[in-house]
Structure 1
Amino acid sequence: MRRRSGASLAILLSATAMPAHAAWYEAKSKHFAIYADESPKSLQAFATKLEKFDKAVRILRAMDDPPIGDGGRVNVYVLPSTDAVSHLAVGKDSSIAGFYLPRASGSVAFVPKQTDGHQEWDISADTVFFHEYSHHLQLQNTDAALPPWLVEGFAEFYSTAEFERDGSVRLGNPANHRIVGLYLLAKPSMDMLLGPGTNKATEDQLEAFYGWAWVLTHYLTFADERKGQLARYIALIRSGDDLMKAATVAFGDLKRLDRDSDHYLHVNRFRYLQVNAPELNRISVVVRPLRPGEAAGMPARIHSTRGVDKTEAAGVAAQTRAVAASYPDDPFVQRELAEAEFDEQNYAASRKAALRALALDPKLEKALIYKGRAEMELSASDPKADWSAIRDNFLKANLLDTEDAEPLMRYYESFGASGERPTANAVEGLRYALVLAPQDKSLRLMAVAEMINAGRIAEAQETLGPLAYDPHSSGGRERARKVMDALKAKDQKAALAALSQAAAAPGNND
């Protein structure tokens, strides 16, 4: 998501630049684990609102809501302000109001407690969160290679959710935060709006793109004269039609569509959808205070969760070691140390910390995962390595949380690390991992590589589709399209070579 004069956003919640012993609480609901230096009452209300949004969108779209474990929850960190979020994201003041990191190891979001009083038409923290979480839900609901305008239009459509006193949720409200892009900037051409994506677009062009993506999505959703056209358009794309051809067949004369969407905006009579169901008022949230060790480690945890480079890893590891020394009997603190040591490539120390965590709590799934990952790194050049024992870490982790994608992904990775062909069980696990975490780009590329190697070219094309039309990464999108072109030409060797370059490029999930 983008904010006026801003960089690409990704979304959710977090916190930084806070006292080490702040009054941190955790609020756990079905889909979220939220961490904030906030009163339990406020945190309970916030978690309830996020769950209401999730349920309302699922009800409206008739989406399944299968059971999930800890690994399937989105971890949300609430930071004091948008400035704190921006500094966490890029190390300085910027227009970033929140960001979201989609990962098989656990998707995470960082959002502000308040918005620092930016200009009138700025995007609120809630809007940022709901936009990006809509992407999360959309990927869970469809694996179709949807074009950028519809991906962003979908997220903008749901981002303006409002919560009524009677417990209902209003969806599809006007995107007032896009006023600048809609009224003060040039409208994108139909070719730019409906095409495969924008390369090297200016900030103004992107702002206008987001606004008009919302208008077009809203218009095609509500206009009686356009009923059924959006569904037909998606079906044509899924059947392999070129984007512009699909648009012409589904929508008719695109010049007419251009004029009609202008008229729709300027008439300014927007309908919305009201969702009111008993389950919206049956939401369970459990709030608990963090233990002293957990609270003390929160500043380092937030930076580690965000992701660290080599220099940052050293600082985070040093900070985490100090906390771990003060709280040697807290299993979660020791698990955090295992992660921090792993990030600094101290694999033996990472393994030792994971073992300490497991001695304190044998059911700490993420400690098992870091123990296995550290052992994989330590065994990379050891011909006598016991790979069966290493993989046992991931098998045990999977038993502890069968709906967590990460153990399945790491189990599959272990075969490549040992130079062995993955077993059928490992391949099946990889496929299910993608079902559980379709938002993870690196996991998707891993699955595509497996499909290509197995000669399942059509399936590889379908699985790669969301990356080939990714609106958030022009570089990643172009690399994915090179793979797609090779797949369409049935050139397995070229597809694997292009895929290797795409997987190695920066910007993929860890």
Structure 2
Amino acid sequence: MFRHMLILLALLTPMTAQAEWTRAESRNFIAYSEGSADDLKKRVADLEKFGLILQALTGAKRPREVPVKITVYFMRTTEEVQETLPFPTYGVAGYYNTTMRGPFTVMPRISARAPSDGRQRGLTLSAKAILQHELTHHFTFQYFTTAYPAWYTEGFADYAGAIEIDDANVVKLGLFLQDRAASLRTSEWVPLRQLMNPDPRKPGPGFAVYSQGWITVHYLNSTPEGRKMLNAYLTAISRGATFGDALKVFGDIDALDREVRAYSRRSTLDATAIRYENLDVGPIDVRPLSPAEDALLPIQISLSSGVAAKRVQSFADRVRDLARPYPDDPYARRILIDAEYLAGNDAAAMALADRWLATQPADPWANYFKGEIETSMLVKAKSTDDAAWAAARARIAVAMKAIPTEPRFARAYYESYSRRGMLPPATAQNALVDAMFLIPREGTLRYMVAADFEQRGMIDEAIATIGPLAFGIADETDREKRRRERVQEQYREAGEDIDRETPREMLVRLLAKKEAADGAKPLKPAAQ
């Protein structure tokens, strides 16, 4: 899972709601909070404004209302944020992820002081800045058509994430980030010719992409000449230039290195104030949750954030207890069957699906779950009954037709072929690709599309598909990788495949495969 957080230990305490939740929905967000309705509405309006600012800054084209919205959970404290995670944590002040259930973020409503690590005092973290950083990542992944190197994606996320918007729509851009500046003073400088020209086949600069990425983006945006060069650099990459060739727009890269390094020693940086006349956030509908929704919303968060495999049965038991008072509620029914299926309780999940279909035979979610559960049972039975496979597939097709923008349906339809040992037909492949573009930052789906292209001999397309994930995350040392793998094994999540190669490993393998077939060629970044 591609979370921007440091996993150090794990909390196992279940989250419990202590106040009634409120729900707000806008063009691009669905948000929940235990605060007041007015407070939630303002927070969602601010998120919509931030998206409009990103659109203006980048020139990206996006629809006024997206088919798959970001779900935002506003918790009262950072401790409650940490309680939503399936593993122990230390110092996590908020997180974002995209899963097959869609993009979501869990954030505190107030800022918090990060705990001291014994070496330096904890820094005050702005809850809004954390959220905006992650939403910038979501925005760039959704609307940028090219895989840019991590120094830029992380640097721009910090630069944009620090934006402040006041009630008069005056936007402060380029604010000073004390934590990044402190890191620059204590970390070894990585030459820009290395930082800005990553090769997935070689060890990378590690966490320098964050602090140096931020200061480099800030420096280049501080002057008209710098902005012109940065735009030329990004344009060159989007047109197919290698990362190394794109650096030529900066002229003497070593001179740029010296300028940025000197800039990084400043104790203050100039910010820019821009007033926007009109930031139309659109309608925002606010309502209280139903009793079933209020009782089960913590479960909804857990289903997205993950459930530890070793505790998934007790999790299903808990969901069963919470859902028992609402046997006919559609929301409760869907949450319960989702939990039973995640826990591997196929018989219980199937019984729920059958009862659902008995009263609502056309319901897309009921058909999806029954078809998905049937597929899982056929796999476990090693069935070769083509009629049974076709019947399961037909149910999933019903769901897809009813809700064509639901990624889980497209994946299940594709797997009704692939799990049978068949190469899925073009209809299934196209549906999978369409689903990937709905949630482009979801790693499993993107990996499946890349693997499908590879299976069909479409190596360039496979490289293009996996590239945004491979370049979009910080490099790992061998030691960091071993540690991550130990943590993943210890805190394996139910339904998670941790044995699959990483995006970086897949990209390196695909590049070697391409070079073996075509002869050595310079590495080119992958278009999304």
Please, what TM-score do these two structures have when normalized by structure 1? 0.84
Distance, in Å, in 1 between the alignment partners of 2:47 and 2:233 is 31
Match in the other structure for 2:257: 258
Deviations 1:173-208 (A, max 9, x none): 333442311344443332453242899999xx73x5
1:63/1:145 CA distance change after superposition, 3 Å: closer
CA contact (8 A) 1:34 1:78 kept: yes
| Cα drift, residue 38 of structure 1 | 1.8
Distance, in Å, in 2 between the alignment partners of 1:362 and 1:64 is 39
* Equivalent position SS for 2:107: strand
Match in the other structure for 1:53: 50
CA contact (8 A) 1:229 1:250 kept: yes
Distance, in Å, in 1 between the alignment partners of 2:188 and 2:338 is 48
Is 1:285 matched up with 2:281? Answer: no
| Cα drift, residue 334 of structure 1 | 0.9
Tell me which moved more, 229-238 or 369-378.
229-238
Is 1:66 matched up with 2:63? Answer: yes
CA contact (8 A) 1:21 1:295 kept: no
Whichever residue aligns with residue 387 of structure 1, its letter is W
Tell me which moved more, 83-92 or 300-309.
83-92
CA contact (8 A) 1:149 1:194 kept: yes
1:361/1:74 CA distance change after superposition, 3 Å: farther
Whichever residue aligns with residue 231 of structure 1, its letter is N
Match in the other structure for 1:149: 151
Distance, in Å, in 1 between the alignment partners of 2:350 and 2:3 is 40
Whichever residue aligns with residue 486 of structure 1, its letter is A
What CA RMSD, in Å, does the superposition of the two structures yield over aligned residues? Answer: 3.1
CA contact (8 A) 2:86 2:307 kept: no
Structure with the largest fraction of helix:
1
CA contact (8 A) 2:150 2:209 kept: no
Match in the other structure for 2:470: 468
CA contact (8 A) 1:331 1:361 kept: no
Distance, in Å, in 1 between the alignment partners of 2:388 and 2:370 is 14
Distance, in Å, in 2 between the alignment partners of 1:8 and 1:56 is 32
Match in the other structure for 2:384: 383
* Equivalent position SS for 2:73: strand
| Cα drift, residue 339 of structure 1 | 0.8
Distance, in Å, in 1 between the alignment partners of 2:40 and 2:359 is 29
* Equivalent position SS for 2:286: strand
* Equivalent position SS for 2:124: coil
CA contact (8 A) 1:338 1:367 kept: no
- How many residues align? The count is 478
Correspondent of 1:29 among 11, 26, 32: 26
1:368/1:97 CA distance change after superposition, 3 Å: farther
Tell me which moved more, 89-98 or 342-351.
89-98
Distance, in Å, in 2 between the alignment partners of 1:68 and 1:422 is 31
Match in the other structure for 2:523: none
Distance, in Å, in 2 between the alignment partners of 1:132 and 1:318 is 33
Whichever residue aligns with residue 162 of structure 2, its letter is T
CA contact (8 A) 1:158 1:172 kept: yes
Distance, in Å, in 2 between the alignment partners of 1:2 and 1:69 is 22
Whichever residue aligns with residue 424 of structure 1, its letter is A
| Cα drift, residue 304 of structure 1 | 2.4
CA contact (8 A) 2:22 2:286 kept: yes
Match in the other structure for 1:484: 510
Whichever residue aligns with residue 146 of structure 1, its letter is Y
1:17/1:115 CA distance change after superposition, 3 Å: farther
| Cα drift, residue 120 of structure 1 | 6.3
Is 1:223 matched up with 2:223? Answer: yes
CA contact (8 A) 1:181 1:209 kept: no
Distance, in Å, in 1 between the alignment partners of 2:42 and 2:331 is 26
* Equivalent position SS for 1:89: coil
CA contact (8 A) 2:463 2:511 kept: no
Distance, in Å, in 2 between the alignment partners of 1:422 and 1:242 is 33
Alignment of 1:430-449 (within 5 A): 430-449=432-451
Match in the other structure for 1:499: none
* Equivalent position SS for 2:221: helix
* Equivalent position SS for 1:228: helix
* Equivalent position SS for 2:102: coil
Gaps of 5+ in 2: 115-120, 482-501, 519-528
| Cα drift, residue 359 of structure 1 | 5.7
Whichever residue aligns with residue 135 of structure 1, its letter is H
1:117/1:467 CA distance change after superposition, 3 Å: closer
Distance, in Å, in 2 between the alignment partners of 1:166 and 1:414 is 53
* Equivalent position SS for 1:379: helix
Match in the other structure for 2:525: none
Distance, in Å, in 2 between the alignment partners of 1:176 and 1:8 is 23
CA contact (8 A) 2:7 2:89 kept: no
CA contact (8 A) 2:204 2:475 kept: no
Match in the other structure for 1:353: 352
Distance, in Å, in 2 between the alignment partners of 1:453 and 1:91 is 35
1:37/1:300 CA distance change after superposition, 3 Å: same
1:294/1:90 CA distance change after superposition, 3 Å: closer
Deviations 1:379-435 (A, max 9, x none): 223333533332233333333333333322221121112222212211221221222
* Equivalent position SS for 1:489: helix
* Equivalent position SS for 1:297: helix
CA contact (8 A) 1:20 1:297 kept: no
Gaps of 5+ in 1: 10-15, 493-510
Whichever residue aligns with residue 509 of structure 2, its letter is V
Please, what TM-score do these two structures have when normalized by structure 2? 0.81
